[in-house]
Chains A and B, each alone.
Chain A
Amino acid sequence: MSSIGNAELACHRPPDTEPATLVHGTASSHAPTVAFIGRPNVGKSTFFARASGRYAEAANVPGTTVGVDRRAVRIDDRAAVLVDLPGALSLTDRSEGLPAFWQLLLGAAPTAAVVVVDAGDLARHLPLVLACRDLGIPIVVAANLADEAESRGVEIDVGRLSQLLAAPVHRTVGRRGSGVLAAVSEAVRQASDRSGTGRTTRRRTVPANPYSPTSVRRVTDLATRLARGDAPAGAPPELLSALAAGRVSAIGAATVMLADILEPERWAIAQRWATQVERRSAVRPRLADRLSRQITAPWPGLPLFALVAAASLGATMAVGTFLSGILAAAWSATVSPVLTGVVGTLVPIPTLAATILWGLDSGLFAMLSVGIPFVLSFYVMLAVLEDSGYLASAAVLSDRVFNALGLPGRAAIPLLAAVGCNVPAIYGTRVLDTRRERLLASFLIVLTPCSARSAVVIAALVPFAGPQVALLAFGVVALIGVSAGLAANALVPGRQSPLVLELPPLRWPIARQVATKAWFRFRSFVTTATPVMLASSFVLGGLYETGAIRPIEDAIRPFVTAVLGLPPVAGIALALAFLRKELALQLLLVLAVAEYGLGASSLAAFMTPGQLFVYAVVAAVSVPCVATLATLADEFGWRPALAVTGATLGLALSAGALIARLAGIA
């Protein structure tokens, strides 16, 4: 057991040192693969991060590890590949062939598995252990969250559990890393023993078989048929190919196919075994558990929800504004003059030089001053709310309200993100279950003014019409969004699936996990949005510098003046804002100066407050920016993306026309 000794020592290292050496580059194909399996909320991703020395993108919201994370590591001088699988819920859902969990597990082709269970809730976690054990691969069980179990008065007899399961069981606390390496190195050892000596040492579970004789007979009969190549009709093809490739034994495949009859037995066995190994004592409920009950209760849950939402939005905006100021000042003071000089020297044609500067200088400036600060601060805030477990409670509180819009309460998360930037918000709809929900949520996201569009509304209205009018404009935009959401829910075919969600307990977020998660998401936002921002700024510059905007202006002039009651330059500014929303105002001013001379350097010089109101509402609602459109197309395809875009344009123009009539300007 020397490796366990080493591992236990390793747990006393400072928490920020990496417990296992990461092997860079591709892992050797001979390295054994250890799969990490567990139900949602069992702290598996934290556990995996401890084991592999890094933090996966995961949240304290059930089922948020999307996809499969693979890490090549060295533990106790053995190379291994660790694979983190998403939280497992249903092993019997056959609606779409083989349940997703089995598909991912078989695809990972593990040589051993670490099954992470909640030490305080074995009755609900042991069925998964039994199912994995039935596959025929060696398993190591991590009785995780042992500290939470203890504070709830639950002690488990690890030795007895190990006997019952015929598998090693380790008591672990993933957050602190205690016991983690012991469990993982044992799994790696089992995996490498197995891959080293072939299949002769494979642990079969026959001696500890807890199933009824009928079930055992059905499994062995089916396994015999499968081994003969005589698979029954309707056998999942993925399973048969895994069987053919030797990734699963015939018995293992039979237990997967017969999950319907085995699962009820597994749950009954789990219940029985849990009572045998658990010792419960009455303790005062933990503070976290008492708080958890409070935050989902209508009182004080609802006022608290309003408080948390306002505080997080306020903090995001405050930090974002602060960062934006610093970044913008730094850019203007250092990079911008150099860039202007270099481009001016290298590019002899003035129009081309100016166009390039539109792209490089003002495009990157926009990313630094609008995109990056607000999105980064939002992601940090979101990660804190997620990891604390509060977000799931908020989703439950707001579920019924969002149901009216055809959405579950979870949709609040991406919608809140939309206030910062629509692009990450649309990617964030992946937390929703169905395409219908994702599409409806994305429609609402596009109708939610992002920081750039909010800035346009504020800058257009606060100085020239007062803050109350700006607030009124936001109210009108919200009204448009809610009505459109209600209409879309009625029009888009399909129904929303009702909620069944396991609430995670409240936990202190781990700073490093929060930082890593925010960073992963932020990085993907930057890599998506920056190229689009650069390209669209370049096109915008080209149109403006070459005078190509004139024909566009002439084409939309009658509509803009007659229907919206706006000056013609406002129309072209609105149209070009498709490329860069936050430029809707700057463009308007630049174009107005070009059109009417320097006297038009203030909005008030050529537009009335009524016109500004119409302009602000249309700019806030109409057509998402090009980056948002590209994201929509990426996620849903071009047709839905264009339909959403068309709908927002229609809404914005009708609302604009209506307001113009009411205000008497058209």
Chain B
Amino acid sequence: MSNSELSTQDWTLADLPIGVSARVVALDANRHTSLAGHGIRPGVIVEVENDAPFGGPRIVNLGFARLAIARAVALTIHVRLAPADAADGSR
């Protein structure tokens, strides 16, 4: 769960480009509860659909569900780029 376990190639959801799938690898403890309740948990595949204007929330696809996640929260979600074939079997 700690940041030190993550390699330098890991990204947060805040810097994931639009339209690219990634697997959630860890959540910072302080946001864990609210995100986990929405299904953002280690192991799930997410994709950023778009960004709300003026630096607003990121719109994140989790299967058919669409979540609006503020950038401050997206920074606490650590992701790893998903191989193209993994995205299909994720759900």
Contact = CB atoms under 8 A, between A and B. Distances in A.
Interface of A: 89-93, 95, 120-121, 123-124, 152, 263-264, 267-268, 271, 274-275, 289, 292-293, 296-298, 301-302, 396-401, 409, 498-503, 505
Nearest to A498: B70
A661 B65 CA distance: 57
B69 interface: yes
Contact of A267 (B41, B51, B59, B91): B41
Interface residues of B, number: 33
B56 A397 contact: yes
Given A90-B34, A500-B35, A502-B38, 19 more contacts: A92-B33, A92-B36, A93-B37, A121-B64, A121-B65, A123-B91, A271-B44, A293-B49, A293-B50, A296-B52, A296-B68, A397-B56, A399-B52, A400-B53, A400-B57, A409-B56, A499-B70, A499-B73, A500-B68
The CB with the most chain A CB atoms within 10 A, among B37, B65, B71, is that of B37
5 closest cross-chain pairs (CB), A and B? A498-B70, A90-B37, A400-B56, A400-B54, A298-B53
B33 A90 contact: yes
B33 A400 contact: no
B91 A274 contact: yes
24 contacts: A89-B34, A92-B36, A92-B37, A121-B64, A123-B39, A263-B36, A264-B41, A271-B43, A271-B44, A289-B64, A296-B49, A296-B50, A298-B50, A298-B53, A396-B56, A400-B52, A400-B54, A400-B55, A400-B56, A400-B57, A499-B57, A499-B69, A500-B67, A502-B68
B54 A401 contact: yes
A502 B62 CA distance: 10
Contacts of A92: 33, 36-37
A298 B52 CA distance: 6
Given A274-B91, A500-B34, A396 B68 contact: yes
Given A90-B34, A267-B39, A502 B65 contact: yes
B50 A498 contact: no
A128 B63 CA distance: 18
B53 to A, nearest CB: 4
B70 A89 contact: no
Contacts of A501: 57, 67-68
B70 A500 contact: yes
Given A264-B41, A275-B91, A502-B38, A296 B69 contact: no
Contacts of B69: 499-500
B29 interface: no
Contact of B59 (A263, A268, A271, A296): A296
B10 to A, nearest CB: 20
B72 interface: yes
A502 B67 contact: yes
What's the dominant secondary structure at chain A's contact region?
Answer: helix
A502 B64 contact: no
B13 to A, nearest CB: 11
Nearest to A296: B59
A26 to B, nearest CB: 35
A98 B50 CA distance: 36
A502 B66 contact: yes
A586 to B, nearest CB: 43
Contacts of A499: 57, 68-70, 73
B78 to A, nearest CB: 16
Nearest to A504: B66
B49 A396 contact: no
B66 A399 contact: no
A498 B53 contact: no
Contact of B52 (A89, A93, A123, A397): A397
A503 B67 contact: yes
Contacts of B38: 89, 124, 500, 502
Nearest to B90: A271
Nearest to A274: B91
A41 to B, nearest CB: 9
A124 B73 contact: no
A149 B35 CA distance: 24
A297 B43 CA distance: 27
Contacts of B70: 399, 498-500
A505 B67 CA distance: 11
A289 B49 CA distance: 12
Contacts of B35: 500
Contacts of A268: 43
Nearest to A154: B64
Interface string B58-91: 0100111111111111000000000000000001
Contacts of A503: 59, 66-68
B72 to A, nearest CB: 4
Nearest to A285: B64
Contacts of A267: 36, 39, 41
A124 B65 contact: yes
Given A90-B36, A274-B91, A120 B64 contact: yes
A298 B56 CA distance: 10
Interface string B12-54: 0000000000000000000001111111010110000111111
A121 B59 contact: no
Contacts of B64: 120-121, 152, 289
